Structure 1
Amino acid sequence: MGGLWPSKKEAYAMQRNEPIDAETLLSTPLPPVRWLIPGLLPAGLSLLAGASKAGKSWLCLWLCLQLARGGEIWGRTTQPQTVLYLCLEDTYARIQGRLFRLTEDSVPSRLYFQTGSCAIGDGLELQIEKFLSQHPETGLVVIDTLQKVRAADPNNGAYASDYQDMSALKSLADRRGIGLLLVHHLRKQGASDPFQQISGSNGLMGAADTIWLLQRQRMSDTARLLVTGRDMDSCTLHLQTRDCIWQLLEEETAEEQVRKAVPDYLWRAADFIRRAGSWTGTATELLTAAAITGVQPNQFTRKLVEHFYTVFTPQGIRYQSRRTSNTRLLCFTCDRNDGHDGSDDDTGRSPLPSGTVPAGEEGAAPVPSSSSSPSPGPHHGSEHGLCVADGQPFAAADTAAPTGTSPSPAISREAAS
């Protein structure tokens, strides 16, 4: 290697052609990730997917303008670079009209357009290579759309065909150290995972280094841009279009998105359990004890399971679900790392639920008279044998009093005599 950093060709050869041992790998300086848009768009193969007429082409054109002039993109500084935009669904007249709307001053000379191209494996790679040879300072090539450069191959299945086409373009991007952004569509049917809405097989996502997913309701001026990739943390950008330019309203990390999805009542339930130290009962009883209203028990249980590791685990709360003959119990215990055992005083009593007043204090329920008081024998408890107030098991009806308890008055009198 001629210098400290290997050339693009040498780095690519190290990655692709020969095996390399771990010691050599760790002792060889390699160039860091080249960011076209810091934290959002690295060099390599990227996919921008969105519904038809969602504004993908307007977004791409504005990005190309900003990169060619070295302008700011969503609070991120970029370096001027040559950009080739293959507008394969447009005419030069339409591109010109959009440029008039996006810029009032001179346009950068580093930005090039082309409205026709060959297909993948049938001249497209040579077409791009020729442009790169003439403009070695090129940083980004946009292909709008991917389907326009694909040739039908009846001999391959969908996954094999998708992966083969994407691999050919990824090989070109990696070898030349550029960013290659493919514009693509979504399928009409929905999916629980938004990225599963991308038209085609998983071969498209599998081969791409970075994926942008533009979500926009029809006729709305706002949208979400979901970003994920091999070289970055996932994030979501909330955008709004003003004068045909997608402007940033808010940016969320993946962790922030997860926390925002957590219903407020789960935090309140966790706070109640943490203060109680332990708790056992049904979902309905927990909602009542924690003074949570407007939530159905089955809805609460589903959200509890869905967000347990976000809300409860970081607070040292453990959870088990136990089924009895006619109900399901939620059992919570807390890890007390701070030495606090869940008691509010030194008596060792479990804390009372929120809103409960201890007997003998103002506002407490009246103590029954001696004639109506239950015998001092053990509690028989609820049908599931657990005390909902403090989560402790009632003593069994036939269990003898533990050693060290006070004897009954009758026994004391006999002993005295």
Structure 2
Amino acid sequence: MIETKKTTAPEASVGADVVQPSQKFNTNIIANEPAQINLQTTENEKKFALNTVSMSELYDTVYPPRKPIVDGLLYGGTYLFVGAPKVGKSFFMGQLAYHVAMGLPLWEYKVHQGTVLYLALEDDYARLQHRLSRMFGVEEAASLYFATQAKTLSEGLDQQLEHFIREHPDVRLIIIDTLQKVREVGGDRYSYASDYEIVTKLKAFSDKYGICLLVVHHTRKMEAEDSFDMISGTNGLLGAADGAFILQKKKRTDNTAILDVVGRDQPDQELTLEFNRERCLWMFQKAETELWKQPPDPLLEAVSRLLSQDAPEWNGSPTELLAKLPDVGVQANVLTRKLNVSADRLYNDYGIRYESKRTHEGRSVSLKLETQGVTICDGRDGIFECGPDIENTVTIDTTVTEEVKP
């Protein structure tokens, strides 16, 4: 007989002589643990590190100039324009939009021309046509655009505005009338955090593209000693904005109104305005305080004399520039720093764009005189000062006799 035996695979003992893969893996981890901890610590430090700038770096950097829309009144950034219902905010918005699109002085204030988008979200096109024809006759502003519908901020308003800016790169002013039409629906809408967040989003957009966002809003019914405490909502709205305008009447039937103006980088103002019912325009009456202007800067005056319409550009080193300015009496590095911190004023007051950058040969300075456009004056507001291009001035005269209420 043949004997059959069953055999089985020998079982491996779990003794000390057998190296288990898991044990080997764990040994490697333990061996590299200090390096792993150091790596994680470095990554965490980078994640939570502050982006800081030294004072030296601050002075050695040329930042883009903060371009005014209306000198002494409205600049790039996000502003609130607040008033009671039916006080005349829409007429003011139409007047401002037209003046910026045409480059017309607004009362005693110089206006810088550019494309304007007016989101008249509480109107329709027929009402806009009727209102504007009363204000300006049939003289059109080709660079003034309107929309009566737009998405909210949460639905993609920023993308709509970005698309408009791509099509119109010279846009200076976007008016949103009103805030309530573009803010998110639902949630804790009237908390400080919510108010601050929505204006912060708008400000981030205006800063990114270097434009002005003017947001129309309403006052609350309760009276307040400080007019800016009458803004409907919380202090988060004004706290996040670059500035605000409050338009108020003592009585709703009055033609006279007070326009209070505050801003981060401009003096506080109180203007008295009168609504002209025949022309449907706000007319300037007086200012409570005279607008302060900086005295002339000898350095900027000297730099401005280097350029002219015949020689609108200059490029060279700081040392070469200093040689062109013998009466300045500063060192080359001090000269560039003074120009760095004055780039905003050099552009806005003298129309000179200043750049400073490092090259392989050293620091290079560039000065360029920006060309001036044609200025158009109409005299509607009693202002006939038209800027440098007097010979290219066009005068428009329109008369509207129909009486309306703001």
| TM bucket, shorter chain | 0.5 to 0.7
Question: Match of 2:288, SS?
Answer: strand
Question: What letter matches 2:195 in structure 1?
Answer: D
Normalising to structure 2: TM-score of the pair? 0.57
Question: Match of 2:287, SS?
Answer: strand
Does the C-alpha gap of structure 1 residues 47 and 123 become closer, same or farther in structure 2, counting only changes over 3 Å?
A: same
Question: Match of 2:116, SS?
Answer: strand
Question: Match of 1:233, SS?
Answer: strand
Q: Say which of 237, 240, 250 aligns to 2:271.
A: 237
Aligned partner of 1:292 in structure 2 is none
Q: Say which of 255, 259, 283 aligns to 1:225.
A: 259
What is the number of residues matched between the two proteins?
240
Q: CA deviation at 1:26?
A: 1.2
Write the deviation string for residues 11-62 of structure 1: whole angstroms up to 9, x where unpaired: xxxxxx9421111101212233211010110110000000010000100001
**Is the Cα–Cα contact under 8 Å of residues 233 and 253 in structure 1 kept in the other structure?**
no
Q: Say which of 252, 259, 276 aligns to 2:288.
A: 252
Superposed, which structure 2 residues align to 1:80-159 within 5 Å?
80-154=113-187, 158-159=191-192
Superposed, which structure 2 residues align to 1:29-44 within 5 Å?
29-44=62-77
Q: Say which of 192, 197, 202 aligns to 2:235.
A: 202
Does the C-alpha gap of structure 1 residues 18 and 132 become closer, same or farther in structure 2, counting only changes over 3 Å?
A: farther
Aligned partner of 2:399 in structure 1 is none
RMSD, matched Cα: 1.7
Q: CA deviation at 1:157?
A: 6.2
Q: CA deviation at 1:153?
A: 3.8
Aligned partner of 2:374 in structure 1 is none
Write the deviation string for residues 326-385 of structure 1: whole angstroms up to 9, x where unpaired: xxxxxxxxxxxxxxxxxxxxxxxxxxxxxxxxxxxxxxxxxxxxxxxxxxxxxxxxxxxx
Q: Specify every segment of 5 or more residues in structure 1 that has no aligned partner in the other structure, as ranges.
A: 1-16, 257-417
Q: CA deviation at 1:254?
A: 8.5
Question: What letter matches 2:274 in structure 1?
Answer: Q
Q: CA deviation at 1:155?
A: 5.3
Does the C-alpha gap of structure 1 residues 47 and 155 become closer, same or farther in structure 2, counting only changes over 3 Å?
A: closer
Q: CA deviation at 1:117?
A: 0.5
Q: CA deviation at 1:118?
A: 0.4
Question: Match of 2:105, SS?
Answer: coil
Q: Specify every segment of 5 or more residues in structure 2 that has no aligned partner in the other structure, as ranges.
A: 1-49, 293-406
**4+ runs of 1 displaced by more than 4 Å?**
none
Question: What letter matches 1:249 in structure 2?
Answer: Q
**Is the Cα–Cα contact under 8 Å of residues 234 and 254 in structure 1 kept in the other structure?**
no
Question: Match of 1:191, SS?
Answer: coil
Question: What letter matches 1:104 in structure 2?
Answer: G
Q: CA deviation at 1:104?
A: 2.4
Q: CA deviation at 1:255?
A: 10
Does the C-alpha gap of structure 1 residues 254 and 80 become closer, same or farther in structure 2, counting only changes over 3 Å?
A: closer
Q: Which has the larger radius of gyration?
A: 1
**Is the Cα–Cα contact under 8 Å of residues 236 and 254 in structure 1 kept in the other structure?**
no
Write the deviation string for residues 289-310 of structure 1: whole angstroms up to 9, x where unpaired: xxxxxxxxxxxxxxxxxxxxxx
Q: Say which of 194, 202, 207 aligns to 1:161.
A: 194
Does the C-alpha gap of structure 1 residues 52 and 155 become closer, same or farther in structure 2, counting only changes over 3 Å?
A: closer
**Is the Cα–Cα contact under 8 Å of residues 152 and 183 in structure 2 kept in the other structure?**
yes
Write the deviation string for residues 112-137 of structure 1: whole angstroms up to 9, x where unpaired: 00000000121111111110011010
Task: Give the structure, 1 or 2, with the largest relative contact order (CA under 8 Å, sep 6 or more).
Answer: 2
**Is the Cα–Cα contact under 8 Å of residues 189 and 195 in structure 2 kept in the other structure?**
no
Superposed, which structure 2 residues align to 1:320-331 within 5 Å?
none
Give the whole-Å Cα distance in 2 for the aligned partners of 1:156 and 1:84: 26
**Is the Cα–Cα contact under 8 Å of residues 121 and 181 in structure 2 kept in the other structure?**
yes
Question: What letter matches 1:41 in structure 2?
Answer: L
Write the deviation string for residues 88-128 of structure 1: whole angstroms up to 9, x where unpaired: 00010000001110112421110000000000121111111
**Is the Cα–Cα contact under 8 Å of residues 103 and 111 in structure 2 kept in the other structure?**
yes
